[in-house]
Structure 1
């Protein structure tokens, strides 16, 4: 049976970042991806925002890895000339009763190590964004946008240059432990085979739980429940109203941050994502959702013209919390958590996964090193 040092399942942005980190550390790395291209699911269906690390509970992995990942990501983008922009973000209170939420957000940001937020009053906001209706805002200069496809290509290139192998159109069908490592059963382009590896990283995204469940002898109690949480995006036709990202304060009692205005690197404005829990993977954008989007967006952008929104795309977050449940953090399970040497499982890698990807890779490398 063919044997490799390390296998990574999933070639989204996190799987590719992990492959890059481990290949650069001299590990013989194999990456298995079920689709015919990298980053086909969650990694290519998001806002492409580089998050500052403001909203997540202090001390959570999401907060720590976002702040660390942001610094690593901006450095990497500059070195590799990956298209990105530190366009900044305005977190806005549309009504005065939302202002206390801004205070809470600023305090949490500071506790998370984000010290560059600035307060703007209505006058300063009008100067910056004349189309915006808001009474107060926090300005986050370190929030930005990145070309996620160029980022993934760069990680893939770095990994392959160090000898990593990427197998596309490859589905993992079985996972078994053996005395020294693991046996992976896979199907590539219809052909079934098995190979051995000494270490294994599950970066399966929306499929991470299903992969973990095929693992012979893995304690099912360690696999957190998965909830598909869909977010829809609408794009704006006509002149671009904003030059920064605009985030209204998070609506109370929703799992997302509300429908915000994001920018693509080409200047296109998109609105989204909302949050909708669903039972099966489905990327359609129902046009009738637009009515709700017009209503929500006009709270902060009253000039939004009728007929200017077009259904664009949707993404699905692999959430670990269900509707109405409290915050769930990233789940990075290493040998200390499950007792299986050489195995790391990643569950619930949703936002800020793109921003945190290089920091997650760093953490995975540490978890594997402890037991190498």
Structure 2
């Protein structure tokens, strides 16, 4: 049997890549995680809402539905075990007009079909009893939704990987890989000290770089690499006391869940993200977007004071569909799809990827038949 430097190499040290490495480490494999940045979680994982999603919206049987629910069920115990801060605050999906009330019924049915626990339909009076400053005609309550410290979570994953004898190697970009004749891969890594290493299994989970990484794997079919689209979302922070204890979401918009409210773990209110397609990752926050935020937020919080919002941060989602195309499922592809034994390639792991991450790691292990 061939000797390898590592049983597995994972490309990308964001939440999903680290969760994949953790899932493999739990099965006794030695794992190296290659990360081009100088710290973990510097891409998609550091610029999101840090929301733990219930799994309400996604088509039943889809990877998003199945892995979001399974990932969320695994995430809370993991966070508690590793003393990572979280708040299972619950979420209200609110209808601000009669048309949206009918949409709530469809979301409720979808959530129940997906196995989301504890879902409740609330009348206007019941919703206002929970959140008196809310303006709505009705709401859904998802008690399993919450917020958490995503960076603390990634540090805990990194610790688990290293405790199992693995390595998270920073400032080491993936430059290419080629299947070996007897099985496994030769992986080329760059950085200040370029190197080559061999592994039995290769997992690519680099978020925004997924397409470029796949293109540098010898033999990966070009037609299996989806087009890359960048969905930028900006966030604005609220000055003053946070108005709501629950997450507040409008019904979803095409391609995203819409501009929503959360109270972060420091007790401040944050609104976002909006959604704009951009040609390349761009993390600037445009102050001129504020009027749209005020107009949108006042649909469910009319008392939002003028001048209370300030630009905060922006994130970019690795989308595999354009602005006028239906939102696809996660793509987690093994030899059955691309023909390369021992390789699992991930594409389009946007929301609810963070919530789903532990379950994605288990799915990757299953695709490798471990």
The 5 A counterparts of 1:234-313 are 234-251=236-253, 254-313=254-313
Corresponding residue number in structure 1 for 2:230: 228
The answer to whether structure 1 residue 355 and structure 2 residue 355 are counterparts is yes
Conserved? CA contact 1:21–1:159, under 8 Å: no
The answer to whether structure 1 residue 100 and structure 2 residue 97 are counterparts is no
Corresponding residue number in structure 2 for 1:219: 221
Deviation, 1:56, is 0.7
Secondary structure, in 3 states, of the residue corresponding to 1:114? coil
**Does 107-116 or 294-303 show the bigger shift?**
107-116
Deviation, 1:2, is 7.5
Deviation, 1:279, is 0.5
Cα distance per residue 1:33-85 (max 9 Å; x no partner)? 00011010101110001000001111110000001101000111122221111
Choose from 182, 185, 190 the match for 1:187. 190
Conserved? CA contact 2:247–2:261, under 8 Å: yes
Cα distance per residue 1:262-316 (max 9 Å; x no partner)? 1211111100011110001110001101111001001111111111101011111
Secondary structure, in 3 states, of the residue corresponding to 2:283? coil
**Does 3-12 or 58-67 show the bigger shift?**
3-12
Conserved? CA contact 1:335–1:344, under 8 Å: yes
**Does 77-86 or 37-46 show the bigger shift?**
77-86
CA distance in 1, matches of 2:269, 2:302: 15
Corresponding residue number in structure 2 for 1:41: 43
CA distance in 1, matches of 2:5, 2:61: 39
The answer to whether structure 1 residue 315 and structure 2 residue 315 are counterparts is yes
The answer to whether structure 1 residue 20 and structure 2 residue 22 are counterparts is yes
**Does 207-216 or 113-122 show the bigger shift?**
113-122
Structure 1: gaps (5+ residues): none
Deviation, 1:25, is 1.3
Structure 2: gaps (5+ residues): none
Corresponding residue number in structure 1 for 2:63: 61
**Number of positions where the alignment pairs a residue of Structure 1 with one of Structure 2:** 367
Corresponding residue number in structure 2 for 1:197: 199
Deviation, 1:3, is 2.7
Deviation, 1:191, is 2.6
Corresponding residue number in structure 2 for 1:172: 174
Secondary structure, in 3 states, of the residue corresponding to 1:156? helix
CA distance in 1, matches of 2:52, 2:333: 25
Conserved? CA contact 2:219–2:340, under 8 Å: no
Secondary structure, in 3 states, of the residue corresponding to 2:112? helix
Secondary structure, in 3 states, of the residue corresponding to 1:229? strand
* TM-score, normalised relative to structure 2: 0.97
Secondary structure, in 3 states, of the residue corresponding to 1:170? coil
Conserved? CA contact 1:320–1:328, under 8 Å: yes
Conserved? CA contact 1:184–1:195, under 8 Å: yes
CA distance in 2, matches of 1:194, 1:279: 33
Conserved? CA contact 2:47–2:314, under 8 Å: yes
Conserved? CA contact 2:19–2:358, under 8 Å: yes
Cα distance per residue 1:197-250 (max 9 Å; x no partner)? 121000111001100011122111111111110111001001111111000112
Choose from 105, 125, 130 the match for 1:128. 130
Conserved? CA contact 2:64–2:330, under 8 Å: yes
Could you list the structure 1 runs, at least 4 aligned residues long, displaced by more than 4 angstroms after superposition: none
Secondary structure, in 3 states, of the residue corresponding to 1:328? coil
Deviation, 1:138, is 0.5
Give the superposed CA RMSD.
1.3
